[in-house]
């Protein structure tokens, strides 16, 4: 569980990260912010590449940012776009989220209209392949 204040902080951090997205090809800017088990907020944005397959999503950059700083356990993640339709994480991001979050963790999508949608990770990636399967 997270507090309303923590959710508001995550939404703001994801929105700030969104502003730094590098998306010259798709024009689809995304920001993400996660709350670590230690209570820290980490953020990331999508970074596109002319060689499209090398593009890295905001969610994965957010998680990598935390891992670089020694944090590998998370409570929740917020994904921010300025799309009217709320955007869930892509399949690759769902798998990376499953590596570091519990299956009961909340994943939120928010937008510039202050719409919000919440999923449990288990809804986004049922029967996930996780470290427990190794």
| Three-class secondary structure of residue 117 per DSSP | strand
Instruction: State how far the Cα of 116 lies from the Cα of 16, in Å rounded to an integer.
Output: 17
Instruction: State how far the Cα of 23 lies from the Cα of 18, in Å rounded to an integer.
Output: 10
Active site residue 59: yes
Instruction: State how far the Cα of 116 lies from the Cα of 66, in Å rounded to an integer.
Output: 24
Give the active site residue among 5, 37, 48, 59: 59
Question: Which residues carry out catalysis?
Answer: 59
């Amino acid at each position: 569980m997270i507090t309303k204040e923590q959710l508001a902080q995550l939404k703001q951090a994801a929105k700030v990260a969104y502003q730094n997205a590098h998306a010259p090809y798709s024009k689809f800017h995304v920001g993400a912010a996660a709350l670590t088990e230690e209570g820290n907020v980490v953020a990331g944005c999508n970074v596109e590449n002319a060689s499209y397959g090398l593009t890295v999503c905001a969610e994965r950059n957010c998680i990598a940012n935390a891992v670089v700083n020694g944090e590998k356990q998370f409570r929740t993640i917020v994904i921010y776009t300025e799309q009217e339709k709320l955007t869930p994480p892509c399949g690759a991001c769902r798998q990376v989220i499953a590596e570091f979050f519990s299956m009961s963790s909340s994943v939120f999508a928010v937008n510039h209209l202050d719409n919000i949608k919440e999923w449990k990770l288990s809804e986004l990636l049922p029967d996930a392949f996780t470290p427990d399967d190794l």
